[in-house]
Amino acid sequence: MIRLHHVPQARSFRILWLLEELGESFEVVPHSFFDKSLRSADYLALSPAGRVPALEIDGRVLFESGAIAEYLCETRGRLGRMPGEVERAEWLEWIHFAETAGQHLANLTQHHIALREPWMRSPTVMRLEAKRLEKVLAVPDRVLTGHDWLLPSGFSAADVAMGYSALVGRRFVRLDSLPALAAWLERIAARPAFRRALARDGVAEIYRQEFYEAPDE
Ligand SMILES: N[C@@H](CCC(=O)N[C@@H](CS)C(=O)NCC(=O)O)C(=O)O
């Protein structure tokens, strides 16, 4: 049985959603950022930096969401674009560009949520990171103008990887100037596999607000 180590709303949601899109049967092993379970010796044996996702599959453990997405698409035969296929390079680019957004999401989450005392936070960093994230999200917005999905041939794991980044990204960046991205997120929300994944996500403990405004100077 495939086992996904997951924290609700975290980047492991990409893999939860992808497994649902692939129609795989799997178990979700829930964790929390707040109970130190990611720092236990048992968990560090699975994921040495104590991060999610970690995926137990085919007799081994994999961490790093981009690598897991590639592995799942290669071994489960769908939603990837394989070597030799026309869209292979673009597919790889999106799978990993999702983590260019991910670094800004991590910084913004740390500043708005994890750092509880106002004096710990830098308003300059919060504004800068939101602007930088907006520039990243403008890239799929341009590509999606006039298209339903990131690749011309249709939905793929690229939409899952980047889609998660945009779903969290809209908590820090208003989508008024990114209409194609906003419409894509609506198409994503209507997908049965996405809804099934949301139902298995668990109780939200990271993002409790719809939007986190960057503070003024
Ligand atoms: N690039 C990695 C990032 C993994 C990562 O940092 N995950 C966060 C959750 S979004 C985590 O586990 N944080 C726990 C911690 O930093 O202690 C991936 O995409 O898998």
pLDDT higher than 80, residue 128? yes
For domain 88-191, give the fold: Glutathione S-transferase Yfyf (Class Pi); Chain A, domain 2 (1.20.1050)
The tens digit of pLDDT for each residue in 22-40 reads: 999 999 999 999 899 999 9
Q: What angle do CA 92, 60, 200 make, to 5 degrees?
A: 70
Q: Ligand 1: which residue has its CA nearest to atom 16?
A: 51
- Supply the DSSP symbol for 214: P
End-to-end CA distance of the chain: 51
Kindly tell me if the per-residue pLDDT of 216 is higher than 90: no
Query: Which residue reads 């939200």 in tokens?
Result: 204
Percentage of residues in the chain having pLDDT higher than 70: 100
In ligand 1, which atom is closest to the CA atom of 68? Answer: 20
CB burial readout 80-115, b (16+ within 10 A) else e: bbeeeeebeebbbebbbbbbebbebbebbbebbbee
Does residue 103 register a pLDDT over 90? Answer: yes
> Is pLDDT at 217 greater than 90 in this prediction?
no
Q: Is the Cβ atom of 69 under 6 angstroms away from ligand 1?
A: no
Q: Which atom number of ligand 1 is nearest to the Cα of residue 39? A: 17
Is residue 141 within a helix (H) or strand (E), and if so which, with residue range?
Answer: helix 123-144
Q: Which pLDDT band holds residue 78 (cuts at 50, 70, 90)? A: confident
- Cα separation, 76 vs 82, whole angstroms: 12
Q: What value does the mean pLDDT take over residues 158-176? A: 98
The mean per-residue pLDDT over the stretch 109-128 comes to 95
Indicate the pLDDT class of residue 77, thresholds 50, 70 and 90.
Answer: confident
Mean pLDDT confidence for 82-98? 98
Mean pLDDT for 71-100 is 96
Distance from the alpha carbon of residue 85 to the mean position of ligand 1, in angstroms: 30
- Give the integer Cα–Cα distance in Å for 79 and 9: 22
pLDDT at 13 over 90: yes
Q: Calculate how far, in angstroms, residue 72's C-alpha sits from the geometric centre of ligand 1.
A: 19
pLDDT at 91: 98
Region 113-127: mean pLDDT is 94
Please work out whether the CB of residue 51 comes within 6 Å of at least one atom of ligand 1. yes
179 pLDDT higher than 90? yes
